[in-house]
Amino acid sequence: MKMIKIESLSKSFGRHQALDRVSFSLGKGEVLGFIGPNGAGKSTTVRILLGMLKPTSGTAELFGQDAWKDAVEIHKRIAYVPGDVNLWPNLTGGEVIDLFLSMRGAAVDQDKKEALMKAFEFDPTKKCRAYSKGNRQKVALIAAFAADADLYIFDEPTSGLDPLQERVFQDQVRKVKARGASVLLSSHILSEVEALCDTVAIIRNGKIVETGKLEALKHLTRTQIRVKAERSLDHLKEKNWIHDYSKDKSETVFLLDTNHLADLLSELQNCNVTKFESAPPKLEDFFMRHYETDEEVD
Amino acid sequence: MRAFKQTGSLLFFSLKKEWLKFSLWVLGCLSFVLVGIIAFVSIYSGAADRQAMSAAMSNPAMQALFGKAIGLDNYTIGAMYSHTMTVMTLSLIGIHSILLVVRNTRQEEEEGMLELFRSLPTGKMAHSTAALSMLLISNILIAVFTILILLIFGDSSISLEGAILTGIIYGLNGLFFGITALLVAQFSANSRSASVTAFSILGIAYGLRIIGDTGLELFSLLSPLGLLYRTEPFVTNQWWPVLVIIPIMMVLGLTAFYLQSKRDMGGGLFPAGNGKRAASSFLKSLPGIIFRLLRMPLIIWIMAFVLLGIAYGSVIGDVETLIAGNAVIEQIIANDPSQSIVNQFISILLGVLSIAAAIPALQVMMKAYSEEKKGRISHLLVGNRSRTRVLLSYTAFSFLVSVFMQLLQTAAFGGAAMTSQPEGLAFKDVVLGGMAYIPALWVLIGAAVFLYGWFPQIISGVWGLLGFCFMILYFSNLFDLAEWVKGISPFYHVPEILRGEEGTLSLILLMMMSAVLTASGFIGFNRRDLIND
């Protein structure tokens, strides 16, 4: 059974179409990176999954149950961290964490809670009004990780965290994944997605533009190659799997469609190569490329 | 003068962003003055009416509420205005001034606006000075227009000297509390504790004045409200309190500026203490969190209602002399000669008190909406609580508050009324008369739940409905209104038990109406999207 199954989900607010036939799914024990620029529809999708918004058409199911109708049953098994955590200014962080945990209806594992507060270096005795954005996010993160959920939904959870705490976050995600839980990570921090996710779904203007295994997607990307050779390499320029061919002093720099690596090596065999560097494909390159081409189409 | 660089442009900017709130508050304070003077002139034009009023106003509860009775031997419109309006207006202007200063100093500091201003070439003190200038402008406006309003709408007893003195004490009082707010803002760690402290000082000033005006006069002099009340405009026109408060105010202001120049931005001289590490088991429940969020306003309402109930109750003994022959009041209560005039008067008062009791009850539903807008209702819904359950907690709390507040204030009112041993009036009847209004209150709550469920953006429309009910209650007998217009107000259908009216059926119908509205509100809430800014 899929943990999340979304099929041709649409949502409009008045005339504005926020989501247009979005489909993707998340399996058990998987971490899905849900990426896209601001305003693309990430939070709308997440809020539909949480039963806060009603879909205009299409289905959104969690654990095989309807996100809207069975919200209460579903919520017993999930933990959620919003991107912009708004807390009650006159309660302390510790009080809010306890409140969030008790709203889940399960007994609180005090040791786990304390350990998380320590890991995130969080002081629970301050009033929420005094917390920075990062500290407010920690409140929601601690409450989420202290719960034993089957599915964790994070909506840009680390935008206020420093790199050290970002690492704590990543460790915790790996821990819950090892336990067999699933994670939906909506984010635009691509390095984070790259470090954690098995699959990604890319959304833009309310439409899913790409979805699949991260490795498979990377395969579609281009690798940057820098070569120094004694013979001329200009014949490469003609190949349709070579892009942005240019000379940098005595070296040649170009982008290679990653699935044509073998072709390149055979072409280079007789060129007396003295230096060969390749920069691995990054999700960011793929993401940027995708967006640039899309913008050209627009 | 480098510390004050750019004060002018900051002031201009503040006025630009504040003008709406600023003008509403100034207009609000002035309309209080306007309504006061017009009401006195039109209702108490006869000397005999005023003399009757002076007897009622000199009882201890009234002196506690308004101040030591003054000018009783010749209770002119001026004396009456001075006695009953001064402390109330001073308190209102004090509230306005505290809010204005905290909003434009400490709150902007907390929200990071000050940081941006400071990074620009502005002086260290420019921001606070701009806020104080705004305080000065608002209080000058209040002072000048108060003088004009009093002179234009007052009668011959409103002397030029008295009017000017009134205007000046209003303005000085605003400046005093605004400067006090700036001073306590230097000590506090955040804007909330600054405003809480400043309001506590206002509350203590009011409390000291109560002690002073009902006995130990010295305490009144310690309170700025009591001190300024001692000017007695239109009665004795004393100027010495003005001369006393000006130097005190200047010392407070200079101290505030000195402390501000010494402290770090964002810091307070007294840092915030640590709070609780874990939540109590009460807080961890839905009713617990809702109660916690509304605790402060509820405590203040409880105190206000007890005070209001006792004050109104205390005049009952004098009602007969107070009303007899006053045509306007007789018309308001639709005097029926076959009934006791006291009972008729109480009947109207109970209606007014019930409208007041609706305010905290409706505030609970408003809170649900503001919590949703801030994305905090979703914190609760993401847990294993259903929408029905969350809304039920708010709604049940709102219903409870309506019953509790109504019971509390009618009991306070009835208790105080009994001390004068009015003929043919039983405590039980007063409380029952008050309870009869509860189904009407519930219709208003039902309307709020309905709006919350279906049209949350216009939920504040219930305030309009409440205002309408108030107008109908007060003025329906003065003007000839169509029956159906009056009928829109649920309060219109409440049987006036003290006048011997029977109305079990209309009470049942009101309750059914409330139930239908509430239930449909639940249906709406279960169908709509959550709102999030």
For residue B300 the two structure tokens come to 């203040």
Asked if the model's pLDDT at residue A173 lies above 70, the reply is yes
**Among candidates B34, B84, B33, B32, which has minimal Cα distance to B54?**
B84
pTM comes to 0.81
Q: List CB contacts (< 8 A) between A136 and chain B.
A: none
Say which residue the tokens 């309408």 belong to: B468
Mutate to test the interface with A, among B284, B384, B387 (most CBs of A within 10 A): B384
- Look at A77-86, B57-66, B378-387 and tell me which has the smallest mean pLDDT: B57-66
| d(C-alpha B217, C-alpha B235), whole Å | 18
Q: List CB contacts (< 8 A) between A52 and chain B.
A: 378, 381, 529-530, 532
Cβ–Cβ pairs < 8 A, chains A and B: 103
Distance, CA of B120 to chain centre: 39
pLDDT value of position B533: 67
- Nearest by CB to A95, from B192, B278, B384: name it: B278
pLDDT value of position A298: 41
Evaluate the CA torsion angle B261, B262, B268, B270 in order and state its sign.
negative
For residue A140 the two structure tokens come to 């929601």
ipTM for this model: 0.79
| d(C-alpha B339, C-alpha B423), whole Å | 12
Amino acid identity for residue B287 in this structure: P
- Among chain A residues, the shortest Cα distance to B193 is held by A90
Most confident of B10-14, B110-114, B227-231: B227-231
Full DSSP string of B260-323: HHHSPTT--SSPPPP--SS--TTTTSHHHHHHHHHHHHHHHHHHHHHHHHHHHHHTGGGHHHHH
Mean pLDDT of A20-28: 94
B275 CA to chain A: closest CA distance, Å?
Answer: 5
pLDDT value of position A290: 67
> Do the beta carbons of residue B123 and residue B5 sit within 8 Å?
yes
Q: List CB contacts (< 8 A) between B379 and chain A.
A: 99-100, 103
Distance, CA of A42 to chain centre: 10
Contact B385 A52 (CB under 8 A): no
Half-sphere exposure of B194 (CA within 13 A, CB side): 33
**Among candidates A166, A168, A139, A141, which has minimal Cα distance to A152?**
A141
pLDDT greater at residue A204 or residue A298: A204
Full DSSP string of chain A: --SEEEEEEEEEETTEEEEEEEEEEE-TT-EEEEE--TTSSHHHHHHHHTTSS--SEEEEEETTEETTTTHHHHHTTEEEE-SS----TTSBHHHHHHHHHHHTTS---HHHHHHHHHHTT--TTSBGGG--HHHHHHHHHHHHHTS--SEEEEESTTTT--HHHHHHHHHHHHHHHHTT-EEEEEES-HHHHHHH-SEEEEEETTEEEEEEEHHHHHHTSEEEEEEEESS--GGGGG-TTEEEEEEETTEEEEEEEGGGHHHHHHHHTTS-EEEEEEEPP-HHHHHHHHHHHHHHH-
**Among candidates B443, B438, B448, B447, which has minimal Cα distance to B495?**
B438
For residue B264 the two structure tokens come to 């770090």
| d(C-alpha B173, C-alpha B132), whole Å | 14
| d(C-alpha B357, C-alpha B504), whole Å | 22
Full DSSP string of B428-475: HHHHHHHHTTHHHHHHHHHHHHHHHHH-GGGTTHHHHHHHHHHHHHHH
- Classify A7 in phi/psi space as left (phi over 0), alpha (psi -120 to 50) or beta: beta
A170 CA to chain B: closest CA distance, Å?
Answer: 23
Q: Which DSSP letter does residue B72 get?
A: G
The residues on B that touch A, with CB distances below 8 Å, are 110, 189-190, 192, 272, 274-279, 283-285, 289, 292-293, 374-376, 378-387, 527-530, 532
Distance, CA of B526 to chain centre: 35
> Do the beta carbons of residue A89 and residue A122 sit within 8 Å?
no
- Nearest by CB to A92, from B275, B284, B387: name it: B275
Most confident of A83-87, B18-22, B252-256: B252-256
Evaluate the CA torsion angle B173, B177, B182, B187 in order and state its sign.
positive
Q: Confidence band (pLDDT; 50, 70, 90) for A19?
A: very high
Q: List CB contacts (< 8 A) between B381 and chain A.
A: 50-52, 71, 75
> Do the beta carbons of residue B30 and residue B150 sit within 8 Å?
no
Q: List CB contacts (< 8 A) between A82 and chain B.
A: 375, 378
pLDDT greater at residue A292 or residue A17: A17
Q: Is A52 on the interface with B (CB under 8 A)?
A: yes
Mean pLDDT of A4-26: 93
Contact A71 B530 (CB under 8 A): no
- CB environment B7-40: b (16+ within 10 A), e (fewer): beebbeebeeebeeebeebbeebbebbbebbeeb
Distance, CA of A89 to chain centre: 30
Neighbours of A19 (CB within 10 A): 29
Contact A126 B292 (CB under 8 A): no
Asked if the model's pLDDT at residue A26 lies above 70, the reply is yes
> Do the beta carbons of residue A221 and residue A286 sit within 8 Å?
yes
Amino acid identity for residue B210 in this structure: I
> B212-227 pLDDT, tens per residue?
887 788 888 999 999 9
Mutate to test the interface with A, among B296, B382, B533 (most CBs of A within 10 A): B382
Q: Confidence band (pLDDT; 50, 70, 90) for B1?
A: low
First to last CA, chain B: 43
| d(C-alpha A138, C-alpha A100), whole Å | 13
pLDDT greater at residue B267 or residue B514: B514
Contact B283 A89 (CB under 8 A): no
Q: Which residues lie across from A228 on neighbouring strands?
A: A275
Asked if the model's pLDDT at residue B384 lies above 90, the reply is no
Which residues, at least 6 apart from A76, have a Cβ–Cβ distance to it below 8 Å?
A: A104, A105, A106, B384
Relative to beta strand A65-66, strand A57-62 is antiparallel
Contact B381 A95 (CB under 8 A): no
Q: List CB contacts (< 8 A) between B374 and chain A.
A: 86
B533 CA to chain A: closest CA distance, Å?
Answer: 11
For residue B77 the two structure tokens come to 């419109």
Mean pLDDT of B41-50: 85
- Among chain A residues, the shortest Cα distance to B389 is held by A72
Q: Which residues lie across from A199 on neighbouring strands?
A: A32, A213
> Do the beta carbons of residue A45 and residue A56 sit within 8 Å?
no
Q: Confidence band (pLDDT; 50, 70, 90) for B171?
A: very high
